[in-house]
Structure formats: structure tokens, C-alpha cells
Amino acid sequence: MASSSPETAPAGADTEQHPGRWTAFAVLLSAVFMNMLDVTIVNVALPSIQEGLNASNSAIEWIVAGYVLMFALALLPFGRLGDLVGKKTMFVIGVGCFTLGSALCGLSHTTLLLIFARLFQGFSAAMMTPQVLALATVMFSPHERARAFSYFGMMAGIATVSGPIIGGFLVEHSLFGLGWRAIFLINLPIGLFAVIAGAKLVPSTPRRSDTRNDYAGILLIAVAMFLLIFPLVEGRTFDWPLWCFVMMAAAVPVLTAFVFWESRQNARNRPQLLSFGLMKTRNFMVGGSMALFFFSTIPGFFLCLAIFLQVGFGFAPLKSGLTTIPFSVGVFAASLISGRLGHHFLKVRVILGIVLLGVGMFWLRLYVLSIGDAVSRWALFMPLIIAGLGLGVSIASIFQLVLAGVPQEEAGSASGALQAVQQLGGAFGIAIISGIFFARLGEMMQSGAARHAAYVSAFALSLIYNLAAYAVVIVLTLLLSSDRRPAQPAATKENAPHIA
């Protein structure tokens, strides 16, 4: 499993030991669907949440970024904890907590409560997500795993495509008078089913008493991320006072302390949150930087797009959700095609995907700059589908390419670390892209610009970050080695759903 040491079944284990494995896997997939649905459904509801709770722009950023950040920080520790207490146990607890977090989100009557509930949701998602493919690895024999992983990707793709539609429908029609709250409360029946069925049907896995967590490493990296993310989100609200820059500067010595601590743990042969051996692997460090930039672009983009369409130009939530569907369809279609190519032409596929993403975003920016008082959803169709195709082509290839130069014994740790980098990149991107968007919007509004012109300028400016990030990704991709195949290519299947 990506975020923990691989766990194998006892010697001689085969599929006959788990006769109900496909039924059990269906339960695991229901939790995957719930988690992925929550990721894609929230953006459509953000303008309604902001209006309903009278939330500030920075609060809206925290509702999205807080979930992603907590997920990233807890992913590796809970992967290891699943080894310690049992993957089934951790999965059931995680799903139960995620369901509770969804209920708390739906019942929140203040912005602060909703932010804390979203943090708890992200924490809970990190409990259950690392266990899903790890359990599949135990339940299925090698010749059945590819089929199981394909179902995993298919379920994630369905959730990605359906999320904006379901979210838009729930918010616009305000079922049972719940409004935006319905997007969270819809998780309750799915979560309750997954908890009960998981406890009964998912097989238990052996516990590893030799597994421990690196709690000091967890604390250091959490502090460093807080020092970076908090001022990026809140700095604009307070007009960038000195303490914002002091906090960001303080993250450097904390990150340095983290590296020294992991080195010390490695020298003493003790648990490490991030293997020190990986820090000395050039391919992984370059690839991790590439992944950080790559995954920083999409979550913030969709946050700003939803606000641009709904608040700026009066799109109803359902219409806004339907407008973004071409992107999700492009991701889904390209992922299916890319998966058939295996480990061939990884660099070419990554660069091709990035170029398509860049073309789509550039085309979108050109159209946005031409907008007067109305947005045509059909004019957005081609830029979005091209960008979606680019993401689908490149995303799995990125994980395979980065893992290509990682030693066999470090492959599991590297795959888990890349998942964490993926989420951290998303948190940074949300802070930076939405920061650019809201700062420009505020400037335009204060200068007396017309409403539509202000939103056009803000959204167009925010897209420049994506274009710059893709240029950096291409340069870093060219520096990566692709001489070896990744030791655990199946782990890459786990990552695609978290992006769209």
C-alpha cells in the first residue's frame, strides 16, 4: 500500500480464502464513491454556502483548503496505523468518522463550525482512503487485482462526473428545504451502509506489532504547513502585515528541523514519516517538486470557476455544475486510454498532457477576456474538455514516472509520500490561486469597475498561475529519469480520483 509498508496475506493465501471478496470490494467502493463525490460536489455549492452563512472569502478558501490540508497531513500516519490496528478496523472507523463529519457539515450554522467540520472530514478521509487498495491487495490474487483496480478507477470517474450534477441539483432544488446542506447530508445513508456492511463483509487483515508512527515528524511537518498555508489564506484579509511574512519565513527552519529529525530516525533505524532514503533520491525530490506544482493547479481553478460563474454571472448551481462536466468527461476518457499504455512513453505522455492542459487553460483565458455581460457555456466546452483530456493523460503517468527512479525497497513509501504531496499541492494551490482571484476582485470593485468586468479580470489573472505552473512542470519533467519501471504501479490508480 502506498502510505504504509505493504501487507501481504499469509503464505499460501489465495482467492479461495476470501469467497466474498467482490461483495466486500463493492463496500469499499461505496466509501470511495462517497469520498470522491464530496470532493467534486463542494465547489458547486460554495457560492450558496458563502451566501447562506455570510462567509468571508478567506472562510470559503478554508472550507476547501482545510479539508485537503488535513487529508494530506494525516494520510501517511493513518496508512501506518492501519498496519498497526488492522486495515479493516481503520477503514470502518474512518468511514464512521467521515459520516459523522458529513452530518456536522450539514448541521453547521456558522462558518467556523463548518470549517472545523471540514477539517474533521479531511482527517476522517485520511483514515479510510489508504486502506481501500491495501485491503484489495490482500483480498485479491495478483491476476484479479488489475480488474479490481479498474473498478476502483471507474467508480472514482463516475463520482467525478456525477458530483457537479448532483451538487447542482441538490442546491438548486433545495430538497426538503436543506439548500447547500444536502450536499453533505447525502453522505449519511451511504456512510451508514458502508460502516455496517464493512464490519460484516470486509475481511480482517493481520496486525503488525512492529509498526510505529513517527509522531515528532508528524508534528514538525504539520507546524511547517500551518506556517505556510495560514498567512497565504489570511494575509489578504489583514492587508499583508509583517507577521504573515514572519510566519512563512519561520516555516523554513521547521522544515529543516524535519529533515534533521528524519535523518536521526534513519540513523537509529526508527520509524520515519518520510523515508530519509527518499530525500537522498534525486528522481523523487525532482518528481515531488513537479507533482507539487502540477497538483496545485486544479482545485483552486475549480473554486474560482464556480464563483466566477455563479456569483459573477448569475449561473444557477445546476447550470454551473453542468458547465464543468466536459472537464470531468475529458479526464475520465483520457484516463481509460492512458491506462492501456502501461509504462510506455511516460515522459511523452506527461508532457503531452501538460501541453493539452496549458492549451485548454490558455484558450479559456482568451475567451474569458472577451466576455462582456454574458458567459456562453458552449464557448467553455472545448477549452474545458481539452484541459480535462490533458489531466487524464498526465496524471497516472506522473506517478509512474516519479516512481521509476525510486529503489524497490522505497517504492511503497514513495507512493504514499506522493499522495501526500498531491494533497499538499492542492492546499497550496487553493491558497495561491484564490488569493490572486479575490485580491484582484477586491481591487477592481474598489476602483469602481463594473461587476462583470471585475470578475473577468480576476478570473483571467488567476489563470496565469496555472500556465506558469505547467511551464515549471515541463522543465522538471525533462529532468526526471525513466530508466526503471515503478515497483508498485498499481498504487498510481489510487491517486487519480483526488484531483478532479
Nearest to 426 by CA among 302, 246, 250, 328: 302
Mean pLDDT across 169-186: 88
pLDDT in tens, 249-282: 999 999 999 999 989 988 888 888 887 888 888 8
Q: Cα(382)–Cα(358) distance, rounded to whole angstroms?
A: 13
What are the Cα distances from residue 61, in Å, to 114, 181, 255, 418, 435? Answer: 12, 18, 24, 23, 9
- Across 318-363, where does the E strand assignment appear? none
Q: Identify residue 401 by its one-letter amino acid code.
A: L
pLDDT in tens, 309-349: 999 999 999 999 999 999 988 988 887 777 666 667 778 88
Half-sphere exposure of residue 331, counting CA atoms within 13 Å on the CB side? 26
Q: Cα(427)–Cα(297) distance, rounded to whole angstroms?
A: 10
Confidence of residue 488 (pLDDT cuts 50, 70, 90): very low
Contact (Cβ atoms closer than 8 angstroms) between residue 328 and residue 182: no
Query: Who contacts 169 (Cβ-Cβ below 8 Å, separation ≥6)?
Result: 318, 321
Q: Output the pLDDT for position 366.
A: 97
Q: Output the pLDDT for position 253.
A: 95
Q: Cα(96)–Cα(285) distance, rounded to whole angstroms?
A: 36
Residue 304: pLDDT above 90?
A: yes
Residue 265 grid coordinates: 530516525
Q: Output the pLDDT for position 487.
A: 45
Going by the DSSP 8-state scheme, the letter that residue 209 receives in this structure is T
Q: Output the pLDDT for position 85.
A: 83
State the average pLDDT for the chain.
Answer: 84
pLDDT in tens, 201-238: 888 877 766 667 788 988 898 898 889 888 988 887 78
Confidence of residue 10 (pLDDT cuts 50, 70, 90): very low
pTM recorded for the entire structure: 0.83
Phi-psi region of 330 (alpha: psi -120 to 50; beta: other; left: phi over 0): alpha
Q: Which of 111-120, 191-200, 208-217, 459-468 has the lowest mean pLDDT?
A: 208-217
pLDDT in tens, 377-421: 899 999 999 999 999 888 878 877 887 767 766 666 777 788 888
Three-class SS of residue 426? helix
Q: Which CB contacts under 8 angstroms, 24+ apart, belong to 105-108?
A: 105/181, 105/184, 106/178, 106/181, 106/182, 106/184, 106/185, 107/181, 108/53
Q: Output the pLDDT for position 476.
A: 92
Residue 470: pLDDT above 50?
A: yes
